[in-house]
Structure 1
Amino acid sequence: MRRPISTLAATALTIGAGMALWINHSSARDRVPVATPVGKPEFCIPHRQITESLVRSDSVIDFKMRGGKVYRVTIDGGCPGLGFEGRFGYSTSLDRLCASDIITVLYVSPIASGARCALGPFQPVTLAPAEK
């Protein structure tokens, strides 16, 4: 009879520890660097020029381009799970990624797809230096 109780207690501790890690992981991803707009937002950017996509939170993605330009996209209402997972996929038949194109949050384990969300305009920005 004591064995199931101790197993239940161990399981509860494991679940609690996992939740604490998730909370810490999530809060670390929610640090969005300050960005200063440098021009008018653009509706589309050439996807072949994207060198890096940086998921900053559930609602902010920074796209680094060849040549050093950075575009910030803000997703209205956020995209559930995006900030935590830090990865997304998209499909387009054009040679560019556009505002209102749909991205899909990709989960690491199990390999599955999550929320689908529309992008906003691509605002050219200058990012503040990273804090140490």
Structure 2
Amino acid sequence: MTRQRLATLLLSLCTAAGSATVLAEDNAAPNPNLKLATGEPVRCLSLNRIDETVVLDANNVLFYTGRNEVYLNDLPHRCLGLSRNKPIMYRTSLHQLCSVDIITVLESMGSSYMPGPSCGLGMFYPISKEDADKLRKESRK
């Protein structure tokens, strides 16, 4: 089997496993971190505003912007494989990252990365930098 076929097969298996996981988690409890929201959620963030992305856990991702704002993204479904120790990537054809877009966990493969599970984003909730710092600290425990 060629490397390209093997990589395609592994990517298909990872994507299928991620999709099956999402279906199993449809009845999750409400996210307790949403009580930290300081305003109304937004559907999209401009890509040129995003300075840093921090994965807290399988349900929460922080997006820091150049305007010293922080947004908590509440994933609508638990994303198994998503953790603070793994990088993520996203692609969009627009100049915005929106609640309909997909993030992909990158799995370390020696000196390179391979796409792992993919998960849909949720709404972006503004939170204070202080609350974001507390969430980051708690996620390290």
User: Are 2:38 and 2:127, in contact at CA under 8 Å, matched by a contact in 1?
Assistant: yes
Please say which structure displays the higher CA radius of gyration. 1
Q: Distance in 1 between the 2:98 and 2:49 partners?
A: 13
Q: Which amino acid aligns with 2:46?
A: P
How big is the alpha-carbon RMSD for the aligned residues of Structure 1 and Structure 2? 2.4
User: Are 2:56 and 2:84, in contact at CA under 8 Å, matched by a contact in 1?
Assistant: no
User: Are 2:49 and 2:66, in contact at CA under 8 Å, matched by a contact in 1?
Assistant: yes
Q: Does 1:114 align with 2:122?
A: no
Q: Distance in 2 between the 1:36 and 1:102 partners?
A: 24
Deviation at 1:86, TM superposition (A): 2.6
Q: Distance in 2 between the 1:120 and 1:77 partners?
A: 9
Deviation at 1:68, TM superposition (A): 0.5
Distance 1:53 1:84, change over 3 A: closer
Q: Which amino acid aligns with 2:117?
A: A
Structure 1: which 5+ runs fail to align?
A: 1-32
Q: Which amino acid aligns with 1:47?
A: L
Distance 1:84 1:62, change over 3 A: closer
Q: Does 1:37 align with 2:37?
A: yes
> Structure 1 length normalisation: TM-score?
0.68
Distance 1:82 1:38, change over 3 A: same
Runs of 4+ aligned residues of structure 1 deviating over 6 Å after TM superposition are none
Aligned to 2:7: none
Number of residue pairs the alignment of both structures matches: 101
> Structure 2 length normalisation: TM-score?
0.64
Q: Distance in 2 between the 1:70 and 1:49 partners?
A: 11
- State the secondary structure of the residue aligned to 1:108: strand
Q: Distance in 2 between the 1:95 and 1:36 partners?
A: 27
Structure 2: which 5+ runs fail to align?
A: 1-32
Distance 1:86 1:34, change over 3 A: farther
